[in-house]
Amino acid sequence: MIKGIGVDVTMLTRFIAKDDAFIKRILTPNEYQQFSTLNDIRQVEYLAGRFCGKEAYYKACKNRQISYHDVELLDDKEKGLTISDPHAHISISHDGDYVIAFVVVE
């Protein structure tokens, strides 16, 4: 049974040259570790995607009080993008200057 659906879209340009304090407010330590291994352009895409994914998750959870560190989105070589909530499914797509995320919570 679906309990919630969330979607969010943002522009990549909002995430260029963000300071470390902002980045660490959005990313968990594990996400930050993955982020740190990427080149500059990919870091912007990664940060924007994680922000967008977490916003979509927040909406799918009916806007209950959730911090950015309450959910973790990690790349797994075998599974692809994973979300730490076992009842949630996520998809993130990039196209040009935009990122979109879609989350379903069962």
Residues marked active site are found at 59, 94
User: Which one-letter amino acid corresponds to residue 22?
Assistant: F
CB atoms within 10 A of CB 28: 19
